[in-house]
């Protein structure tokens, strides 16, 4: 409802109607990215997918848990698929020229997430596996001192 203000002019009381408050509409933020990166981090309990710009600043993200799955269903191939579908729904209004994909982890959700990404007609430039691999092994025990 609009606000009313009262003024006293002499002996009369005058009411002014200030009108309705303006209702602002939510603006859809359109962003343009020349090159974007998608990081897929898949482990045994969840699959987390992040969209960043070229500098690594996070633009949006999704996971199997945020896609609506709970408990052990997050660590399934279906969880990785749903997480990628939710992320692609979020970025459908963004103008992205090319995408670089980085996959990390050995969980079951990495392959279905890539399949969903390839099924959409996006310009995917490269796919890289950045799973850390240990080298050198554990250090041997120190010699026994008697």
pLDDT of residue 22: 65
Task: Give the pTM.
Answer: 0.73
User: Would you kindly state where each structural domain of the chain is located, as residue ranges?
Assistant: 32-129
More confident residue, 89 or 17: 89
pLDDT in tens, 14-62: 555 555 566 666 665 667 889 999 999 999 999 999 999 999 999 999 9
Give the max Cα distance, the chain: 108
Q: What is the CATH number of domain 32-129?
A: 3.30.420.80
Cβ 122 vs Cβ 92: under 8 Å: no
Can you tell me the distance from the alpha carbon of 74 to that of 66, in angstroms, rounded to the nearest whole number?
10
Task: Give the containing element (helix H, strand E) for 104.
Answer: strand 95-104
Can you tell me the distance from the alpha carbon of 15 to that of 145, in angstroms, rounded to the nearest whole number?
96
Cβ 120 vs Cβ 99: under 8 Å: no
pLDDT of residue 73: 93
Interval 4-22 mean pLDDT: 62
Find residue 63's DSSP bridge partners. 48
């Amino acid at each position: 409802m609009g606000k009313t203000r009262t003024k006293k002019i002499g002996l009369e009381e005058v009411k002014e109607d200030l009108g309705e408050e303006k209702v602002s509409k939510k603006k859809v933020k359109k962003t343009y990215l020349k090159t974007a990166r998608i990081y897929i981090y898949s482990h045994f309990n969840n699959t987390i997918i992040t969209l960043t710009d070229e500098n690594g600043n996070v633009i949006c993200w999704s996971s199997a848990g945020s896609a609506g799955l709970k408990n052990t269903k997050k660590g399934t191939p279906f969880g990785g698929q749903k997480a990628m579908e939710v992320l692609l729904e979020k970025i459908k209004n963004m103008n992205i020229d090319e995408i670089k994909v980085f996959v990390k982890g050995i969980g079951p959700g990495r392959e279905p997430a890539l399949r969903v990404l390839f099924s959409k007609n996006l310009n995917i430039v490269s796919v890289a596996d950045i799973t850390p691999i240990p080298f050198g092994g554990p250090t041997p025990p120190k010699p026994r001192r008697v």
